[in-house]
Amino acid sequence: MSPQQARRQQTATGAGTVPATDPYFPANGDARYHVHRYELALDYRPAPNRLSGTARISAIAAPGGAPLAEFAFDLAAGFRIGRVTVDGRAPHYAHRAGKLRVRPAKPLTPGAAFTVEVHWSGNPKPVRSPWGGLGWEELTDGALVASQPTGAPSWYPCNDRPADKASYQISLTTPSPYAVVLGGQLLTRTVKSSSTTWVYEQSAPTSSYLVGVALGALQQVRLDDPVADEVPQHGWVPHHLVPAFGATFARQPEMMRLFQELFGPYPFDGYAAVVVDEELDVPVEAQAMATFGVNHLVEGWESERMVAHELAHQWFGNSVSVADWRHIWLNEGFAKYAEWLWSERAGGPGAAERAARSHQLLSVLPQDLRLADPGRRSMFDDRIYQRGGLTVHALRVALGDEAFFRMLRDWTRSHRHGTAGTDAFVAHVQRYASAPLDGLLNAWLYETLLPPLPTA
């Protein structure tokens, strides 16, 4: 497929709109309805790894077309379904191969609101993927959720497509020695006998894979200055790791202030950085929170860039989410470039020097990846991150700093809590250029050959 054909296909199928199915994960999600709110009441016992839950899911049948006679949620096959209702009435349902298929007693009118209640229980475990297990993961003493891109069904019934964003209220009851951290505002914490119930509200629209959970023997640490900082920032850390956490995350409040200056207002009510007492391959991204392993608590650029990277995702990936997974570079390219911007402001190598190092790295690697549609097998290839960051830097060089940062702030504002794709971003960028950028954008986004290093 030529770059021109790739662009035409993306425009036709909706990089700026949302395709009926995700091209990379066509079996996930259901476009026949939209969820606008999940209310989850969960009980988790770590020792037997036992989860039971009730989900109240408020949704709207897609407008137009025929009445909705059947719809489906994604839910891992290992759970037992106790009861399902649709608007209080018992439907026909079947739970097989990771799909909970529901047939209401009466077909739903297009555009009509409806409410589904699902009771389920079982032993949560990661769902299999080409990148290993995804979703709910048992730890030595606790649990965490790492769902990107398709792990959310490992623990709750959902419409597992990134474009179907909804608000969440989650109540989780667990033994009292454990703390529960979710991305959102903690409404209540109620102790009853040996159990504690934690209730969180995330009012901002959230993609299913970005609902994060961390559960363990964690101590809360405040990072922000309540006088100087607008955004509450907390750490949740095992007690013996608090000193190391303080050293690694000491500059996060500065990053928050910088990113608000460059990207626009922080899009959520607060931010939680969680550290678990186990090693993780990479930090875990979630909305309004991120989870790090004990191996990430080291001083130096490598850990500092990870802190910056995960924080930047709150703007790029979480508030502005991908319309579908072809456009993952919009998440990772901007988060990578945020690392370079932080380095530049913090007194380290400037973004131009970081870009030159990245360009040198890519120049000796295979040049067979199309950034704007890398394919499912390559969506987490490190070249997406590096070339994505270089693409953003090329735009900065072409536009100049004043227009470039104005473009970024307008992008995060106009798509706040929404979804977007590559064609929408290309159209947005062109409005800030004094001359057409077709050649530059085509070379970086749709060609596979690495373009020359962008220089002022």
Query: Tell me: the pLDDT tens digits for 156-173?
Result: 999 999 999 999 999 999
Same structural domain, 62 and 7: no
Beta strands in 315-456 (DSSP E): 320-322, 418-420
In a domain, 12, yes or no: yes
SS3 366: coil
In a domain, 434, yes or no: yes
In a domain, 300, yes or no: no
pLDDT at 8: 39
Q: What share of the chain is helix, strand, coil (3-state, %, to 5)?
A: 30, 30, 40
Same structural domain, 149 and 102: yes
- Final residue in a domain of this structure, among 178, 198, 233: 178
Q: What percent of the chain has pLDDT above 90?
A: 93
Same structural domain, 127 and 7: no
pLDDT over threshold 60, residue 403:
yes
Relative to beta strand 99-103, strand 71-74 is antiparallel
CA separation for the pair 452, 68 (Å, rounded): 52
SS3 130: coil
Q: Compute the average pLDDT of residues 402-408.
A: 98
In a domain, 456, yes or no: no
Same structural domain, 360 and 404: yes
In a domain, 292, yes or no: no
Same structural domain, 174 and 38: yes
Q: Compute the average pLDDT of residues 188-212.
A: 97
Same structural domain, 83 and 115: yes
Digit-coded pLDDT (tens) for 40-58: 999 999 999 999 999 999 9
HSE value, Cβ hemisphere, 13 Å, CA-based, for 101: 6
Same structural domain, 69 and 147: yes
Same structural domain, 7 and 102: no
DSSP 262: H
CA separation for the pair 115, 85 (Å, rounded): 8
pTM, rounded to two decimals: 0.94
Give the distance, in angstroms, between the CA of residue 379 and the centroid of all CA atoms in the same chain.
14
- Cβ neighbours of residue 210 closer than 8 Å, sequence gap 6 or more: 147, 148, 183, 285, 286, 287, 317, 318, 321
Same structural domain, 100 and 12: no
Number of domains in the chain: 2
Same structural domain, 86 and 150: yes
Contact 184, 171 (CB under 8 A): no
pLDDT at 266: 98
CA separation for the pair 235, 291 (Å, rounded): 10
Same structural domain, 122 and 7: no
Digit-coded pLDDT (tens) for 205-232: 999 999 999 999 999 999 998 888 899 9
pLDDT at 227: 81
Digit-coded pLDDT (tens) for 120-132: 999 999 999 999 9
Calculate the alpha carbon distances from 226 to 78, 205, 234 in Å. Answer: 45, 26, 11
Domain containing 335 equals 3-16+323-445
CA separation for the pair 415, 315 (Å, rounded): 10
CA separation for the pair 31, 112 (Å, rounded): 15
Query: Domain with 61 in it: what CATH number?
Result: 2.60.40.1730
Contact 252, 232 (CB under 8 A): no
In the sheet with 99-103, reading across from the earlier edge strand, the strands are 71-74, 99-103, 92-96
pLDDT over threshold 90, residue 34:
yes
Nearest 5°: CA angle at 190, between 188 and 195?
135
Among 289, 113, 326, 110, smallest CA distance to 204 is for 289
In a domain, 218, yes or no: no
Among 64, 108, 66, 62, smallest CA distance to 86 is for 108
pLDDT over threshold 80, residue 299:
yes
Q: What percent of the chain has pLDDT above 70?
A: 96
In a domain, 429, yes or no: yes
pLDDT at 11: 36
CA separation for the pair 388, 378 (Å, rounded): 13
Confidence class for position 254, pLDDT limits 50, 70, 90: very high
Query: Domain with 423 in it: what CATH number?
Result: 1.10.390.10
Same structural domain, 401 and 366: yes
In a domain, 358, yes or no: yes
